[in-house]
Amino acid sequence: MHADRIDIDVSLVRRLIATQFPQWADLPIEPVEVGGWDNKTFHLGAHMTVRLPSAASYAQQVEKEHRWLPKLAPLLPLPIPVPLAKGTPAEGYPWQWSVYRWLEGETATVERIADLRQFATTLAHFLTALYRINPADGPPPGQHNFFRGGPLRVYDGETRQALIALEGEIDTEAANAVWEAALAATWHGSPVWFHGDIAWENLLVEDGRLSAVIDFGTSGVGDPSCDLAIAWTLFEGESRDAFRTAIQLDEATWARGRGWTLWKALITLAGHVDNNSLEAEEARRVIDEVLADHRHDA
């Protein structure tokens, strides 16, 4: 997908730390359990992580996170990553990179969540707090976050190509209706801070509860509807209702949220329908959830 994607391993990270932050050179370095795709993340000792963009298209996120995360963190009800140091290109690695304080917790798989309804409410309260932070001078949608927070129409071509490719695989007529409804639900609100990638991999759990929100690489200021995808990828039934009630966004925003979710699921299924049964199965499940929710609201 990215021709410039490079290999990042422990050896490279160890060399970068040794030359740029020698005070940490003796600390052990190990890959984290869920290392990410946009960025590769490694444990640095017991209390830090090293995070390196894996391709040029993600490199702009480093400067953004170093500028804004320290300002956002004190205003939020849950911990988020705060950078400790910024590395520079070296050792054959071409981009800036970051050292963060380690946040305790495990990624939020359903089995680790004690009460999914309460988890949904807590997440909604976190996002509501994020949306209330002054967005002045915050980064608008653009290449740095793949236009999250901007008009859905930027992905209209990809979505329609996927619908054509999936004819006979899913109910493309119903999916097209959801997409058209999302495009018609034009956003007219004032820009707000949003996360941009609220997914189970970016939510941490301790003792069954939501304990931290990580990976603000696609964050920015604009339309928050892209943050609603979790409603169909993780929540369902009572937990989805609890999330929707607590987040208090209007029906048009909810419709655009379905659109963001559908776009991602469609291109994922179109890309994996013949070669990755797990990815395809999950994409089909999400598409079914989105279509059913649209019918329910119609």
Q: Span 5-33, mean pLDDT?
A: 95
Specify if 3 maps to a domain: no
Residue 7 has pLDDT above 90, yes or no: no
Q: How do residues 69-109 score in pLDDT, each as one tens digit? A: 999 999 999 999 999 999 999 999 999 999 999 999 999 99
Report how many domains make up the chain. 2
Q: What is the mean pLDDT of the chain?
A: 95
The CATH number linked to 73 is 3.30.200.20
pLDDT band at 161 (very low <50, low <70, confident <90, very high): very high
Residue 37 has pLDDT above 90, yes or no: no
Residue 3 has pLDDT above 80, yes or no: no
**Does residue 152 share a domain with residue 80?**
no
Q: Span 144-171, mean pLDDT?
A: 97
Domain that holds residue 17: 10-103
**Does residue 131 share a domain with residue 77?**
no
pTM for the full predicted model: 0.94
Residue 2 has pLDDT above 60, yes or no: no
**Does residue 172 share a domain with residue 81?**
no
**Does residue 280 share a domain with residue 182?**
yes
pLDDT band at 275 (very low <50, low <70, confident <90, very high): confident
Residue 18 has pLDDT above 50, yes or no: yes
Residues in the chain: 298
Three-class HEC string of the chain? CCCCCCCCCHHHHHHHHHHHCHHHCCCCEEECCCCCCCEEEEEECCCEEEEEECCHHHHHHHHHHHHHHHHHHHHCCCCCCCEEEEECCECCECCCEEEEECCCCEECCHHHCCCHHHHHHHHHHHHHHHHCCCCCCCCCCCHHHCCCCCCHHHHHHHHHHHHHHCECCECHHHHHHHHHHHHHCCCCCCCEEECCCCCHHHEEEECCEEEEECCCCCCEEECHHHHHHHHHHCCCHHHHHHHHHHHCCCHHHHHHHHHHHHHHHHHHHHHHCCCCHHHHHHHHHHHHHHHHHHHHHC
Residue 1: the pLDDT is 40
More confident residue, 298 or 5: 298
Tokens of 139: 């980064």
Residue 35 has pLDDT above 70, yes or no: no
In percent, the amount of the chain with pLDDT more than 90 equals 93
